[in-house]
Amino acid sequence: MTSPNGTASKLILNCGCKINLRLKVTGKRPDKLHTLSSCFLFLEHPGDTLEFSHCAGPGIFFDCPGFPELCGEKNLVYRAAALYAEKAGFAPAWEIVLYKHVPLAAGLGGGSAGAGGILSLLNSIYHSFTPEELNAVAFSLGADVPFFLHRRAAWVTGAGEFFEEIPELPPIPEILIVNPGFPVSAKWAYTRMAEELKTPDDAKFKEEFISGKISSWSDFCRNDLAPALYEKFPLLVMMRSCLEELGALVVQVSGSGSSLFALFEKDVPEKAAAFRRKFSNLENLRIFAKGTEL
């Protein structure tokens, strides 16, 4: 494997993930994309790992060990790399390996994080696009992808293409993420949400977050997609109730689900252990906190 200057190289990137502390659907555009007012919080973990190398080529050699269903050209990481090469106007000779750690279709942005990660990595090598141009490339792949070019907390509006980075976060309680082990289609979640929820958001919550003065996490953390998910999947209601009984300040669905996040003042590992005991019958249950899987 060689870099453009002929030296051996392998670049490794942790792609991270996100939770939506707040997700307010404000409307729907003529192109059928929903518009949002959403607070995205970037998390280092859980995160998929990307390994990138130059190779003799030509082409893009993509692998996702342990997930043969993700190894095709439809994978968002592959598509992002191919689109970068197409827009930049050169033939790629790359080997990309994606190691999955984020649950699939979990509302944590794993696929978008990988796409944003490979775009950022490629642009750090080739410098083909300005930040604004790369943002446009990212948005053409998916509404959440531009956020992962920047990997910082942001208030996101439009259909995901407009965001205001938040350089100084307010004090955020400890975060526990639980995933029940089944996927949820984002398209399904958006098409099932109640029409009456599609209303313009007021500016109060954005001002609270940016000023660092959250008056109530239970009021701040909202997800307009959650009611349909709770109706369809009673298990999520049971999981939410358990986390609340364990003392969570708030429990909410992240993105289009199926993951829930809970905010606790302290003792997250102990809360996680108690939660796992309660749902010991769930073979595919995954729990994340404090930068690790518990």
Q: Looking at the annotation, which residues are catalytic?
A: 18, 144
**Do 250 and 263 meet the contact criterion of CB atoms below 8 Å apart?**
yes
When computed from its CA atoms, the radius of gyration of the chain, rounded to whole angstroms, is: 19
- Residue 174 structure tokens: 């400890």
Of 103, 48, 133, the closest CA to residue 257 belongs to 103
Of 118, 110, 210, the closest CA to residue 165 belongs to 210
Q: Dihedral through CA 185, CA 220, CA 227, CA 274, nearest 10?
A: 80
Q: At what angle do helices 131-141 and 110-126 cross, to 10 degrees?
A: 150
In sequence order, what are the beta bridge partners of 54? Answer: 94
Please count the other Cβ atoms lying within 10 Å of the Cβ belonging to residue 127. Answer: 9
**Do 17 and 47 meet the contact criterion of CB atoms below 8 Å apart?**
yes
Distance CA 286, CA 294 (A): 8
* DSSP 8-state assignment for residue 72: S
Integer distance in angstroms from the first to the last C-alpha of the chain? 36
Beta-sheet strand order (sheet of 34-43)? 162-165, 154-158, 34-43, 17-28, 222-223
CA 27, 28, 34 angle in degrees (round to 5)?
90
